[in-house]
Each structure stands twice: as structure tokens, then as C-alpha cells.
Amino acid sequence: MKAAVIVFPGSNCDRDVRVALRQATGDEPLMVWHKDADFDAVDLIVLPGGFSYGDYLRCGAMAAHSPVMRELVNRAGRGVPLLGICNGFQMLTETGLLPGALLRNATLKFVCRDVLLRVETSQTLFTSRYEAGQVIRIPVAHGDGNYFADGDTLARLYDRDQIAFRYCDEFAEPSRAANPNGALHNIAGVYNESKTILGLMPHPERLADPALGGCDGALMFQGLVEALS
């Protein structure tokens, strides 16, 4: 599997994703600068976390207009899988590749800690190494992770099984106490209709090695390698 990581001014997790992908694939991913819209064909594209353009205007709003994003929209239309993590998730909603929006955290404070997530489905490229209903531990680090969508959009997400992860407690029950940002319905990540695009606020690359304190995030990258190789 050949992967690419898109790098923006202000990205701060691009190297973390690079390491996670290298460990999973055995190969170095392409590191693509946001102005370089012409890059080699790859099997997976990752939009990493960080603070692209300093999070001016809205998080991800300026990055959504970078030259490389037009190419990502084209490739997504041809079925190339995209993974957007944290700021990358925000970019995917800003471009319309994923439904909904990420608002300010309900507390209006930046949150940085491990959270528990319930895997909603294992029938995707991204979650094939998990079990539906499994509880995993993944870190978050954001100030604008409060997922919102209108009623019709939420109904479609439910009908088409597009909710990827929910914040939950140790018993796999979504709860207000387990929700770090006030996200509607405890939603931590969503798919597009074909489930070739995933956006999530938690950072799987930050818990993808025993040296980091756990490997729950590594299973996502390992599953992608199995599915796309």
C-alpha cells in the first residue's frame, strides 16, 4: 500500500502519521506539500491534525482552498480512500466531502486527553481490525471538535450507517460524561456514503506503538494495509 500525507503550514501531526504509516506498511509515505497538486498515484491519502493556517477564520476553512484539495476532491470522486484526523476532519467537512461541521467545544476550552470510543461498524476499510461495539482508547487534542449536523443529515447518517465512532464509557455506553466536546449524539467520526472517506477528531496515530502507551490506533492503519495492499 502506498500512502500520502498532506502537509499544511501549521500541521503538527504529519510526522506522527508518517511514523504510524511507515510502521504499518514498511514503506515511507509521500509527504505532499499543500501547494503541490500533482503527486503520484497512491492507495490512501491522509489529512493530518494540527492548526493549518493557524486556524484563522474557521478551522480547516483556509486549508480547504489549498491547491492540493481540488486534487483530493477529484481523487475521492474516483474512489481513492481519504482519512482526515482532527484538523483533517475539519477540512473534509469544509470541502463538503463529509457532512456536518465541527464547532467550538461546549466548554470553550481546548481538551487534550485520552478518550474511549465505541466502534460503530467493522465493515469498512478503516475498521476491519476492530469489532463492532468494541471500546478503544484514543487521544484527542482540539478546541473545535463539537460535531454538529441538522436533523435531516443526522437521519441520513443513521440510515446509511455513516457514524464511525462515538465517545463512550468503559461499558460502551455513550454518555455526556464521556463526551469531551459536546458533540451531537456523542459522534467522534463519520464516513461518506460509500465509506471510502473517514473523518474523526481523535488521533489514532498517537496511540499506535507500545512506546506511546498503547496500540489501539495501530489497528486502523494495519487494517488499511490489509484492505488496500
What span, in angstroms and rounded, lies between the C-alpha atoms of 31 and 122?
Answer: 29
What span, in angstroms and rounded, lies between the C-alpha atoms of 31 and 67?
Answer: 15
Q: Is 168 a catalytic residue?
A: no
| Pair 118, 26: CB distance under 8 Å | no
Q: Where are the beta strands (DSSP E) in the chain?
A: 3-7, 30-33, 44-47, 82-85, 101-103, 111-119, 135-142, 146-148, 163-167, 187-191, 197-200
What span, in angstroms and rounded, lies between the C-alpha atoms of 56 and 54?
Answer: 5
Q: Among 71, 94, 120, 205, which one carries the catalytic annotation? A: 205
Residue 85, C-alpha cell as written in the block: 484526523
Q: Is 71 a catalytic residue?
A: no
Neighbours of 173 (CB within 10 A): 13
Q: Is 13 a catalytic residue?
A: no
Q: Among 13, 59, 86, 168, which one carries the catalytic annotation? A: 86
Which residues are known to be catalytic?
86, 203, 205
